[in-house]
Every structure is written in structure tokens, then in C-alpha cells.
Amino acid sequence: MHVSTVPGEHARAAGHAAAKLYSGAGHRLLYAPSELRQLITEAIEVGYAAALQDVRNGDFDSDILEWRPTLFEA
């Protein structure tokens, strides 16, 4: 993992997200050059970690009820 761009507390979740998205691409990426595969993996991890940080910071708190209106129903 590229430690300088993905904070430690997000590294595991970002790695899992990258693996899931990467595996969803199917066999096509198996034949891509290793440098390209690494670049794609790191881009997914960085994007996921940034989004996770935004969520943890509360940047989307006001949107949650719109996205999931039944989330807080008793």
C-alpha cells in the first residue's frame, strides 16, 4: 500500500474496496501490464480513502436522510 497517500486507518477498507472493484473488471485486467494494474489499484484506494474520510468528517451528514430515508426510523 502506498502509505503516503492512504492514511493507516483507511488502508484496510481501501484495499478491500480496490480488490472488489478490480475483481469486478473480470479477466480483462489480467492481461494489462503490471504497472497499469498497480496504477489502477492505487487510484481506487486513494479515491476510496478520500471518500471515507469525507464521510467520517460528516461532509455528507445532511444528505444521509435523502439517500436513506428509513435509516433512522424506529
Give residue-wise pLDDT tens across range 5-59: 677 777 888 888 888 888 888 788 888 899 998 898 888 888 888 888 898 899 9
pLDDT band at 1 (very low <50, low <70, confident <90, very high): very low
Residue 33: per-residue pLDDT: 92
Residue 62: per-residue pLDDT: 87
The answer to whether 7 touches 48, Cβ cutoff 8 Å, is no
Residue 65: per-residue pLDDT: 83
The answer to whether 52 touches 58, Cβ cutoff 8 Å, is no
Distances (CA, A) of 37 to 28, 44, 51, 63: 11, 11, 21, 34
State the pTM of this model. 0.72
